[in-house]
Amino acid sequence: MYIEQGGEGPDLLLMLHGMGATGAVWSPMCAEAGTRWAGRWVAMDLPGHGQSDRQDSYAIGQYAASVARAVLPHVDPAGRLVVLGHSLGGVVGLALATGWFGVTPHQVFGAGIKVAWNDDELRRMETLAAQPAKRFATEEEAWERYLKVSGLAGIADARSAVAQRGARRGADGWCVAMDPRAHGVGKPPMSELVALAGCPVHLGRGGDDAMMTTEQLRALDPDASDLGPHGHNVMVEAPARVWDWVASFM
């Protein structure tokens, strides 16, 4: 697992990115961590993304088990483990909240989690999971594709810190760094995960995020937060607002 880390102290903030992205999307928040977080932080590339290894299965439980193994050596028993996940990373955070994977979060925050899926969307994900990684003749094409699949198009460019590790060059051309099979994660069992959580769970979204509504989130978390007039990657667009959200429950 590729990990970036910083800070000091017993408390640990674990940041988990969404599908198709890398841990680099947290770089705007990491830049503010010294003044906004009294502890250590870890941002990792999820399995099958960025520079982390691929794995045989990308079921939510497999993601959670891999993340738990990677973060466990960084957890101080004297401190609090707080998980901040975006989209897919938020679902992984909810799985960790069950306590079934060897770590016990103090609180879990999930931003921008898509909770309603129709059959066409699920079939499209299955189709993408079965296809080989698309190869591009030029680096520019690969980065353009990465920005699109990660939701960063229009708010970042290939040279920005938030896009790091999103594309790579292989022997047969350029490609997005994500393992296509990671699309096969399936519909997240949100109601069940929230019900099984052994710690407080907080859901939120950018107010302009078209992937879900505040009402859908409040069916799971009555106090789900509207994080302002921002899109899906709210932690890139408005890192201070996400820090404020976390601080409001700490």
Domain of 189, CATH number, reads 3.40.50.1820
Predicted confidence band of residue 172 (pLDDT cuts 50, 70, 90): confident
Q: Provide mean pLDDT across the span 47-72.
A: 96
Domain count, the chain: 1
- At 208, give phi and psi (nearest 5°): -100, 10
Q: Which has the higher per-residue pLDDT, 171 or 223?
A: 223
151, part of any domain: no
Residue 39 has pLDDT above 90, yes or no: yes
Question: Do 234 and 155 contact (CB within 8 A), yes or no?
Answer: no
126, part of any domain: no
152, part of any domain: no
Question: Do 18 and 229 contact (CB within 8 A), yes or no?
Answer: no
173, part of any domain: no
49, part of any domain: yes
Partnered with residue 184 across adjacent β-strands are none
pTM attached to this predicted model: 0.96
- Its domain, for residue 229, covers 3-115+181-248
**Which tokens belong to 66?**
């891999």
Least confident of 17-21, 153-157, 170-174, 237-241: 170-174
47, part of any domain: yes
Q: Provide mean pLDDT across the span 138-159.
A: 94
Work out the mean pLDDT of the chain and round it to a whole number. 96
28, part of any domain: yes
73, part of any domain: yes
Predicted local confidence at residue 61, as pLDDT:
95
Residue by residue, DSSP assigns 91-114 as HHHHHHHTTTTS---SEEEEES--
Predicted confidence band of residue 170 (pLDDT cuts 50, 70, 90): confident
- The number of residues making up the chain comes to 250
